[in-house]
Structure 1
Amino acid sequence: MTEPVDGALDRVSSDIIDALRSDGRKSYAAIAKEIGVSEATVRQRIQRLTEQGHMQIVAVTNPVGRGRYTSMLLVKTKGDVELIGAALRTLPEVTFAVATAGGYELLIEVMCRDGEHLLAVINGSIRPIPEVDSVETLVYLKLLKLSYQSGVWPTTG
């Protein structure tokens, strides 16, 4: 089976991702048994899914845990979102950034040491980008839910 060209994942790839979302340390053999394919198929699919950017296998930390000061930034722009995105990719504090529709053109997650560090990132690295019009800051206070086991993956069947 090969992946469809429209970006949707086929059932095997979707099932592999679902298996890893429930337990990112699950072995290839366990996934293969669970979804009814060979271990080699699982290994090849995982390699292809990561190479193509469909997924990453990483440890997920609590964004408001000790020593982490995480915030969501809502950004209004007056220019090309792609140019701003290129600048944001260079900032080590930026952990997530997406172009959005609605009142803000960008949604950015940043992880800093403390409020002073956050202010330095906003005032020294983000606001100086010429296309940035304004930044609204939402500081995370308490984790209420962190789960990657929900949601619907687009599949072809």
Structure 2
Amino acid sequence: MSLDQIDRSLLDALTEDGRASYAALGSRVGLSAPAVKRRVDRLVESGVISGFTVVVDPHHRGWTTEAYVEVHCQGTISPRVLREAFLQVPQVHAAATVSGAADAILHLVAEDVRDLESALEQIRVGAASVSQTETSIVLSRLIHDRHGVAGD
């Protein structure tokens, strides 16, 4: 599907406020509320928008420790196997395979350092080919998404 400028503006507006009304979105992109609804429906049907979700600040859940973890594996392991292993660890907030020395990088959010340590142990044991992890604990988030500055 080819996106025009209105679609791009609509996606920007939805990214900033996924709860905005069709009328509010319409005033931002220059369309009526029914026209915005039709466009949003088309973007959903075509897979451009894959869903709507609520993003909760982990600190409000009592999860105050964040870390990025490089995962190094022995031999060859498929991304599917790594994904399945990482899904078993509730502290894994995001995971990706990467180029470079590491095979994957994880973003972990944990209650505290002890909970982080437990998650790291699960990661090392969960995928048999994990040989090493390198962990960097987040001290402060400077930018938490492309639209905002963290206030932590």
Query: Residue 75 in 1 paired to residue 71 in 2?
Result: yes
The equivalent residue for 1:115 is 113
1:93 to 2:82 alignment:
no
CA distance in 2, matches of 1:81, 1:63: 30
Aligned partner of residue 32 in structure 1, secondary structure? helix
Counterpart amino acid of residue 61 in structure 1: D
User: Cα distance 1:30–1:142, how it changes in 2: closer, same or farther (>3 A)?
Assistant: same
Task: Report the alpha carbon displacement of residue 119 of structure 1 after superposing the two structures with TM.
Answer: 0.8
The answer to whether the 8 Å contact 2:71/2:133 transfers is yes
**Secondary structure at the residue paired with 2:8?**
helix
Find 1:146's aligned residue among 112, 131, 144.
144
Determine if the alignment matches structure 1 residue 34 to structure 2 residue 28.
yes
Percent of residue pairs identical: 25
* Equivalent residue pairs, number: 143
Partner of 2:55: 59
The alignment partner of 1:127 has SS state of: helix
| Higher share in helix | 2
The aligned amino acid for 1:28 is Y
Structure with more contact order per residue of length (Cα contacts < 8 Å, sep ≥ 6): 1
TM-score relative to the length of structure 1: 0.72
Q: Secondary structure at the match of 1:103?
A: coil
**Structure 1: which 5+ residue stretches go unaligned?**
151-157
Structure 2 residues without counterparts, runs of 5 or longer: none
Question: 1:134 maps to what in 2?
Answer: 132
Q: TM-score under structure 2 normalisation?
A: 0.74
Q: Distance in 2 between matches of 1:126 and 1:32?
A: 46
Aligned CA RMSD, in angstroms, stands at: 2.9
